[in-house]
Chains A and B, each alone.
Chain A
Amino acid sequence: MAAKTKRAFAGRQMLGRAVKDSFLKLSPRAQIQNPVMFLVFVSAILTTLLWAVSLFGVRDADASSGYILAIAAVLWLTSLFANFAEAISEGRGKAQAAALRASRKDVDAHKIPSPQEKEHFTAVASALLKKGDLVVVRAGEQIPGDGDVIDGAASVDESTITGESAPVIREAGGDRSAVTGGTTVLSDWIVVRVTSEAGESFLDKMIAMVEGAARKKTPNEIALQIFLVALSIIFILVTVSLYTFSVFSAKQAGITNPTSVTTLVALLVCLAPTTIGALLSAIGIAGMSRLNEANVLAMSGRAIEAAGDVDILMLDKTGTITLGNRQACAFLPVDGVSERELADAAQLSSLADETPEGRSVVILAKEKFGLRERQLSGSQVRFLPFSAKTRMSGVDYAGSEIRKGAAEAVFDYVRASGGSCPQQCDTIVRSIASQGGTPLVVAKDRRVLGVIHLKDIVKQGVKEKFADLRKMGIKTIMITGDNPMTAAAIAAEAGVDDFLAEATPEGKLQRIRELQAKGHMVAMTGDGTNDAPALAQADVAVAMNTGTQAAKEAGNMVDLDSSPTKLIDIVRIGKQLLMTRGSLTTFSIANDVAKYFAIIPALFVGLYPGLSALNIMGLHSPQSAVLSAIIYNALIIVALIPLALKGVKYREVSSGRLLSRNLLIYGLDGLIAPFVCIKLIDLLLVFFGLA
């Protein structure tokens, strides 16, 4: 309840600020940014001048002062409404930016000369830190700048950035080494090498992005603006030539020209694509806001649009398609090795393996044979962490070498020293792989002991999701380190279109290049430093916030939640952004038909009484017709602000169906709605005796 009140209050505050901003934006410099609205702005000034001179008896045809004033007032309102749309869309970002700014306090950084001399720190203002400086951060202190952890491990509260209150672990080495300035260390200590100077930090970029300060018009927005400006130019020519035509016609008819400049200006504003013109920047900013709300930070507006075009998603299997953790479910020994012997070796090699798979091996060994975790320490133990290159991990312990890993990697390793790989092992590997499981081959002293069966569990609902994506023309490619057979089985179960098995960073890069050469737009997520080249190559590259600094630099978006399924949301937001723009453009242009039918008879009925036949809405008088049309024109902007902010409804259907749906809603509505609304406004004007 309290939260609700608070939000309502914040909402009211935001509204107040937006109203204030809409007046501030009435400066010519702000208006010229948006040519269509600048036209309205100039028209408002022009009609105001016409009104002013009309007070001194300079008449504009037979338009009365009151009428000119009414038109001028509505034109000013139109300008204000457009400003309001922009201001309100910026509001959310501004509030977010203010919160972020508050967290970016200037703190004292504890600069140290080397990781070994943690105690010899000098206090330096965080703003003065240079790239490459080393700082030590202890529990309770704020991290002074972006950087990589090079020593130690700590739990860090990153809620200022992610909004997620649960602390995360940051430690030296590996893919969880990146820390962000402005976050707070909760326990332990870390030594951080600063990677960005003050003013260029992640937080600074984030503030600039959410605030819209760094917002540049995207190519697509520019293209649309060109179209809108061209239409406006045509309408300027239409109205100007209309004046000369009316002069000619009046001369032919031998009467004084009854066409007033005020009405022509009103016609111009009605015809110009003001609806989309007013909402264009709001739509763009709102798209960015929606992305921020999804906890994704785009480094450019361009990236969001590209997301709408993506037709291939490269998804990591783990976490996106399958339930993150593969579980060991069986030890399958070969060549007379006992199951227990295999389990023992497997457990030993997995003790230092902190991955869920590694842990599940230890757990299975414990469940089956009651093998306890052993404390391994001393110089005779050496753990080899898993690497994407070797695709093996293991341990050298008490003079023996234990390795476990992908079948081929282990076989190569065994063969390299002249060992042989039993046929039986190969059969087991194949049979596990064909069931969609992951075989991990265990070798001790270059002798194959057997296979661990790791089982993968496909997430619920992903198959349906991929089918929807396929309908929209988006193909999914599963990336996995598994061998092709395993990958194929999971791919079939999950319903992905293709897979990249035994993926190496080079393989991913290669695949992306191939796809792009065929004209595809590729999106992918990544977190490790070794993903950076592929991320840099992909059209839409989402780096995990938990990922390394290199990955974040290479991507064009950062997912603060580090959720692998986020890519699908990003595509949705990208498409929605473009669809909103397109639909409102269609709506805006379709509106012109009704406006013509309102204004043209009103304009020329004095010249050719027969033209009243075109007044199919039966509007009360020429003046009420023009006023109704222009009032509608102003009000429709306000009416469509919620749609511009929320985006049009998005569905995962084929482009043909999407087009006919949106055409039906926005095109047909755009034709019909103004007829109804203008008539209603006209009735109201007459009812209140205003026209």
Chain B
Amino acid sequence: MNAVIQYILYLGILILLAIPLGGYIKKVMAGEKTFLSRILTPCENAVYKVMHIDSGEQMNWKKYAVSVLIFSGIGLVFLFLLQLLQGVLPGNPQGLPGVKWDLSLNTAISFITNTNWQAYSGESTLSYLTQALGLTVQNFVSAATGIAVLFALIRGFVKVKTDGLGSFWVDITRIVIHILIPLNLVIALALAGGGVIQNLKGGQTVPLLEPVAVNAEGEIIENAVIDVETNTVTVFGKAVEDADIVTEQFVPMGPAASQVAIKQSGTNGGGYMGVNSAHPLENPNAFTNLIEMISLLLIPAALCFTFGRCVKNKRQGVALFMAMFLCLVVALGCVAVREQIATPQLIQDGAVDVSAVDQAGGNMEGKETRFGIAASSTWAVYTTAASNGSVNSMHDSFTPLGGMVPMLLMQLGEVIFGGTGCGLYGMLAFAILTVFIAGLMVGRTPEFLGKKIEPYEMKWATLVCLATPIAILVGSGIAAVFPGIEASLNNAGAHGFSEILYAFSSAGGNNGSAFAGFNGNTVFLNLSLGLVMLFVRFLPIVGTLAIAGSLARKKLVAVSAGTLSTQNPMFVFLLIFIVLLVGALSFFPSLALGPIAEFLSSIG
């Protein structure tokens, strides 16, 4: 019962917060007054003045797209150089060296694409300067870029017979100043209050309560008896030759709370620490876990309601929200059940107690005891539904089907809420496909929100929807036969394949989470995953803007009883069906070779 209440609570709080936030975002983007305008609008205007931005500019779709690409391109180059040169730059109290070129490139791409795939370990690779000036800045602006593109599309629906989609520079300024900064201030304060570290100290070294022995590879020796005085380690009375005794621990420090806030709310996911929100200093307790989890889906969920308000059809927003929400609930149900009942292997000999729902039973491997099954499963689903990718447990250790669901959520193209902005514009592309097929079935050439869907829109909508499957299939298809790929894997057989598939699904969904066993830091993987991330980020952006430009030029079609409703349960059902169908048709065979094969052999 306890667990069920937790699940309901997580979902309920999300909806309660998303609705008002959706209204606020609409007001901001329409340039209307909000309760924060008095403080923030002067800042906004100052930015326009300093940057010489014409706040009244109406860009056509091509100019808008070029602005996005230039903006992201500059971010990419800057971030790339920052990492290469961090060794000679200030703000590096730990004296970390410059990052290797392929890893730098991968990380730079990963952050400008809002993916935050981490082939590096945060606390031991990147200096404070890189984290603050590079990653954190991109955490804000890459999230804002997604929202800006969404608004260009919204204007495409709303505007009639015009070219102008608004100004990218104005949009991104407003989003950062009015939405992301205030929201993250609140989240960061709550997190810091809850115990997440927030300081500017270098890493600390503290004594361990109890020394541990490690072998030459740095792995902990089990059942070791340590004699600190004689500096000897014995296992069952036998001395271990090459053992080292560790008496001190390195504790990373730094401005974590502020980074974690935007990591979560901007669907970024790049953790301050290597193990992300599973780290006790990044996510110490149930309270911070709740805050982090809710902020994960908050903006993507709110944008559904924003969309409804902007197109003056609140029910449309609710319909899109419902389509996403239902998928989320089903996915959550699957993961929760699979993790709770674990696998037959865990249950045998009474090794794991899965009988009680109100205690941490089930498959606890890779999960933090302070979170348990419910909070870990929910996080796993939230983080892969949104294209976030932060984790509070290790997805690699989930049961086969429990791990398949997060993978599938990414493979669906990150449209179940998805990234900030990009999730919804991805879903709208699916909605265009849906109205196309449904429209034909009722004998009309399709229209959506009063705009006719013609070959031009279909072409781009199909590309937006299929960018993810194309990227994942091509990427993992090549990786599977790339010489030496086995070295990156933590497991053999079907699970090893799952690790490859997961990595490319994560990059192909701009998600960024990983099956922890997978070592992505090789030249081939850094480059191939980098390319996948760029492809699935910018092809849909250009496609969405092209659709927006074309829609804005069209006239509005009158609504009649013959018009297909896009707000009723039937449409929601169809939309879900199309999303799942495209995902299932693209990935059923590969999932069959990975998690499904693994699952069947575990029960067989």
Residues in A lying within 8 Å of B, measured CB to CB: 219-220, 222-224, 226-227, 230-231, 233-235, 237-238, 240-242, 244-249, 252-253, 271, 305-306, 308-309, 311, 470-475, 517-521, 574-579, 581-583, 585-586, 589, 592-593, 596, 600, 603-604, 607-611, 613-614, 650, 654-656, 658-660, 662-663, 666
Contact = CB atoms under 8 A, between A and B. Distances in A.
A222 B453 CA distance: 12
Interface stretch (B167-175, B432-440, B531-539): B432-440
Given A237-B477, A238-B473, A611 B600 contact: yes
B480 interface: yes
B597 A610 contact: yes
B570 A608 contact: no
B442 interface: yes
B186 to A, nearest CB: 42
A576 B450 CA distance: 22
Contacts of B562: 311, 472-474, 654-655
23 contacts: A219-B455, A226-B459, A227-B433, A233-B470, A234-B470, A238-B473, A241-B590, A245-B590, A248-B481, A248-B485, A252-B494, A311-B562, A519-B555, A519-B557, A520-B557, A579-B443, A582-B440, A582-B442, A589-B581, A610-B601, A611-B597, A659-B442, A663-B441
B450 A519 contact: yes
A223 B436 CA distance: 9
B395 to A, nearest CB: 20
B88 interface: no
A608 B453 CA distance: 44
B564 interface: yes
Contacts of A579: 440-443
A79 B72 CA distance: 47
A245 B450 CA distance: 44
Contact of A305 (B437, B445, B458): B445
A581 B446 CA distance: 13
B565 A240 contact: no
B505 to A, nearest CB: 12
A227 B458 contact: yes
A658 B442 contact: yes
Given A308-B443, A308-B445, A473-B560, A252 B473 contact: no
B568 interface: yes
A237 B470 contact: yes
A600 to B, nearest CB: 5
Counting chain B residues whose Cβ lies within 8 A of the other chain, the interface size class is 35 or more
Interface in B380-395: none
B94 interface: no
B474 interface: yes
B443 A658 contact: yes
Interface string B320-340: 000000000000000000000
Contacts of A305: 445
Given A600-B592, A660-B570, A223 B473 contact: no
Interface string B578-604: 000110111011101100110011011
Given A249-B494, A608-B494, A655 B589 contact: no
A219 B459 CA distance: 12
Given A248-B481, A585-B437, A659-B564, A575 B443 contact: yes
Q: From B450, B558, B581, B603, name the one whose CB has the most chain A CB atoms within 10 angstroms.
A: B558
A590 to B, nearest CB: 8
Interface in B464-489: 466, 469-470, 473-474, 476-478, 480-481, 485-486
B593 A245 contact: yes
Q: From A519, A603, A607, name the one whose CB has the most chain B CB atoms within 10 angstroms.
A: A519
A264 B563 CA distance: 42
Contact of A586 (B437, B466, B477, B593): B437
B496 interface: yes
A94 B473 CA distance: 45
Contacts of A227: 433, 436, 458, 462
A600 B589 contact: yes
Contacts of A610: 597, 600-601, 603-604
A311 B565 contact: no
B480 A248 contact: yes
B444 to A, nearest CB: 5
B346 interface: no
B556 interface: yes
B493 interface: yes
A244 B440 contact: no
A475 B563 CA distance: 13
B463 interface: yes
B480 A241 contact: yes
Contacts of A224: 436, 440, 458
Contacts of B5: none
B518 interface: no
B458 A223 contact: yes
Contacts of A246: 593
Contacts of A233: 466, 470
B556 A519 contact: yes
A36 to B, nearest CB: 14
Contacts of A242: 589-590, 593
B209 interface: no
A223 B454 contact: yes
B497 interface: yes
A241 B48 CA distance: 49
Contacts of A576: 443
Nearest to A608: B597
B206 interface: no
A611 B596 contact: yes
Contacts of B466: 230, 233-234
Interface string B447-459: 0001001110011
Nearest to B577: A667
A604 B598 CA distance: 13
A141 B464 CA distance: 63
B50 interface: no
Given A247-B480, A311-B558, A659 B455 contact: no
Nearest to B491: A252
B474 to A, nearest CB: 6
A520 B470 CA distance: 39
B265 to A, nearest CB: 33
Given A519-B450, A662-B441, 6 more contacts: A227-B458, A237-B469, A241-B590, A248-B480, A574-B443, A611-B597
B51 interface: no
Contacts of B555: 517, 519
Given A224-B440, A574-B443, A238 B494 contact: no
B601 A655 contact: no
Nearest to B469: A234
Nearest to A589: B581
A264 to B, nearest CB: 10
B492 interface: yes
A237 B473 contact: yes
A608 B443 contact: no
Contacts of B441: 579, 582-583, 586, 658-659, 662-663, 666
Contacts of A604: 592-593, 597
Q: From B440, B493, B597, B600, name the one whose CB has the most chain A CB atoms within 10 angstroms.
A: B440
Interface in B6-41: none
A313 to B, nearest CB: 12
A662 B442 contact: yes
B561 interface: yes
Nearest to A520: B558
Contact of B481 (A244, A518, A575, A656): A244
Contacts of B593: 242, 245-246, 249, 604, 607-608
Nearest to A597: B588
A582 B592 contact: no
A274 to B, nearest CB: 14
A305 B589 CA distance: 38
Contacts of B433: 227
A309 B453 CA distance: 12
Contact of B438 (A222, A248, A659): A659
